[in-house]
Structure 1
């Protein structure tokens, strides 16, 4: 049964004007127009720094090893002069929480600017769009190429585009895997076709993921796969900065000559050129109001400001502003929610810095042998223990093992020397030298490990000593 169109919608359609669908509404590929402006330059500058950080850091060396390397085999995470171990993963969790609160703070302040300026999905999508422009031409040329029948020229242009996409994807994958496997060895193995099965799988996986996400899915990732796009709107308030169209100034829209008084003809400042739609990477019309698809990249602001300059109109028909400002009020920067996020963020950053500075560079784990106890040649009750000692520093260290207060005597090696990052399992025995009649089967026992070059560096681990009743 055919669904009827409500009469109120039919009555609202102007038959003298054709119905225009945005690229997002049409459902076809989105071809963006080239433009320039302040926000584009800011995005290019930020993208350049992020690319330099991502692609460059992995090639840096530090004291004879890769400066940043997550060595899964050795369970070590090197960041320049610091080495982190599985026991330090609580710091990684804290860092992720700080990043989440930072994202909340930015969202309350300025909407989805993370999406438009720093999100990897957006950055790589812009890079792939640039590749399209280089190989297939500007927007109008790409649209014509899509509609043109297949020919040798079309095959050549499309092949060049996909080759460039694949090259960027492979470089991205090689860099990412290079943070977990030494990059120089990995690159040599790749170019000599000697990559192992595991590394080869992950190179293929991340190459395919980059190629598909940035080349084919693009804005669909932001709209249908990214959870942030779903919950970010609940964090907005009337003072959140967002890309907005000033309808009170822009309406009524319409074409006009530059030298006429458009206000006298009942026209607003919007000349309905649709350039704001043509530059949008998600293919929306920002003049329709705030939309889930908008990633706050500012592309529409740049191109609209160019049009305003040519028409001798004031800039800012499209701008970063708040709902309150659009309604004639003022944007409040200091408001409870924003201050709350900022306070929590500063406290967490301070706590993280303190935890990082006070992080022990020595680890001690004690495991008691499964045998409950034994009697030695002197008639003393002994328990066996295995001490796992980790030198988390980048220097050779000499350590001394001792016991806390109690009627115990330590037998075995009491001093050990460890290389940087070395892990040693040290077997020791502890004897009960003084009987304590009336005590139960178990007693508490404390092990101490002290750095001989830094007496203040001490770690302790407790365990249990088991003896027969009455001893």
Structure 2
């Protein structure tokens, strides 16, 4: 049989980023540029750096304001202290962040990647260091092609020194959120840092240096899962960095002031500046691509060219598929409204949970021994109570049994616990009846603040007694 089923090859995604004539040597050397979106990105980056590097040094009530104290198993954030029992709140916060990212993606694509992602932010900082040490794009290309000499060695050494210094500061700050940063920095400067803290500082220094200095766009292209599923979040009204082919084609050079339409040309002069400024090395004129991180560098570069040529801005801009097809963008649509509603509900629930979070925690652990007989001939069970004072002031508590007729609590019923501390209290419970109604009964322990009755917590355990007394 000679009949064959006809087929055609469909390229789902390019195997690699296509190199253009503006990227000689296979490497991506970005060009300097200015513009509105660059200023916005610098503003967001400055805010991120201020929060990350500055918050670790803040003090609150004689301790570090934000500290995840692994040794004590508690998390301080300014005036609040969270314990492992409160980690459900952290899970809720992460879910809210995820939904927030989904909502932002539906609305404006990968603006998170372009403006606020730590990988992108640190990469831009490392690229700025590269420009300071080795010059602008053309100078870096020439330096990369030049043979090794004193000048090249000096420039490269200075660049890598700056990269390592930023990596070390980043690693120190990150570890400083888990180990008090002030003694950590003092030990590092005096070369006395050792053990686990030294390992993690070195690890995150190396990770920052490799990710932002060497891997750069490879992290976004091959390692970040967000790049893989972002297209699922898009719809025809999602804003994304896009080139308008109806206006820009056909491309070609022309003299300033001439009428491009009389020459059969569009507004694109084919200067390739949009490619030269792209941190991932793509040509936005090829359409929406997975490698685009939505940083809008190409928009700034193209708008600058349009200004010089006397054309209207927006040849490359944030556009929806509907806009590119000549329609209008629908801002209020079911998916976006659904995400917004879900976000509002979850944020409201989290706020309520934080407000109603019990400021004292009680856990009851029964002794391994089943029961014992005391000096009065009563059956006793032994318990260990773990109480956590989650407030920022010392508190006095009262312990009692709830609805426990026929049982008596032996041990200290009033006690004090310092601010943000945990205390263990051994107590015993005696059964007053000579014959138990059951071999196993549920007891409810309750602790209550002596001055603030609303601060209370309860926990249950079992009382075991023999039936054949």
Counterpart-to-counterpart distance in 2, 1:208 and 1:82: 33
Name 2:382's counterpart in structure 1: 384
Name 1:97's counterpart in structure 2: 95
Name 2:118's counterpart in structure 1: 120
Q: After superposition, what is the alpha-carbon deviation per residue over 1:275-332, rounded to whole angstroms, capped at 9, x for unaligned? A: 0000000000000000000000010001100100111101000010100011011101
Is this contact kept in 1: 2:81–2:391, CA < 8 A?
Answer: yes
Name 1:294's counterpart in structure 2: 292
Counterpart-to-counterpart distance in 1, 2:359 and 2:25: 56
- Partner of 1:399, secondary structure, is strand
Q: After superposition, what is the alpha-carbon deviation per residue over 1:394-434, rounded to whole angstroms, capped at 9, x for unaligned? A: 11110111001122100011111111122111111101113
Q: Does 1:409 align with 2:408?
A: yes
Q: How far is 1:24 from its partner?
A: 10
Return closer, same or farther for 1:118/1:23 CA change in 2, 3 Å cut-off: farther
**Pairing partner for 1:267 from 265, 274, 278:** 265
In the TM superposition, 1:170-319 aligns within 5 A as: 170-319=168-317
Return closer, same or farther for 1:83/1:23 CA change in 2, 3 Å cut-off: farther
Deviates more, 1:238-247 or 1:451-460: 451-460
Counterpart-to-counterpart distance in 1, 2:105 and 2:354: 27
Name 1:375's counterpart in structure 2: 373
Counterpart-to-counterpart distance in 1, 2:178 and 2:375: 51
Counterpart-to-counterpart distance in 1, 2:19 and 2:151: 30
Is this contact kept in 2: 1:440–1:470, CA < 8 A?
Answer: no
- Supply the RMSD in Å over aligned alpha carbons: 1.6
Counterpart-to-counterpart distance in 2, 1:37 and 1:173: 32
**Runs of at least 5 residues in structure 1 that lack an aligned partner in the other structure:** 1-7, 10-19
Name 2:336's counterpart in structure 1: 338
Q: After superposition, what is the alpha-carbon deviation per residue over 1:201-229, rounded to whole angstroms, capped at 9, x for unaligned? A: 00110000000000000000001000000
**Pairing partner for 1:137 from 135, 138, 143:** 135
Is this contact kept in 2: 1:117–1:123, CA < 8 A?
Answer: yes
TM-score normalised per structure 1: 0.94
Q: How far is 1:333 from its partner?
A: 1.1
Q: After superposition, what is the alpha-carbon deviation per residue over 1:83-115, rounded to whole angstroms, capped at 9, x for unaligned? A: 011111111111111100000000000000000
**Off by >6 Å, runs of 4+ in structure 1:** 23-27
Name 2:417's counterpart in structure 1: 418
Is this contact kept in 2: 1:24–1:30, CA < 8 A?
Answer: no
Name 1:69's counterpart in structure 2: 67
Is this contact kept in 2: 1:23–1:29, CA < 8 A?
Answer: no
Counterpart-to-counterpart distance in 1, 2:23 and 2:273: 16
Counterpart-to-counterpart distance in 2, 1:266 and 1:99: 49
Name 1:347's counterpart in structure 2: 345
Name 1:12's counterpart in structure 2: none
Name 2:428's counterpart in structure 1: 429
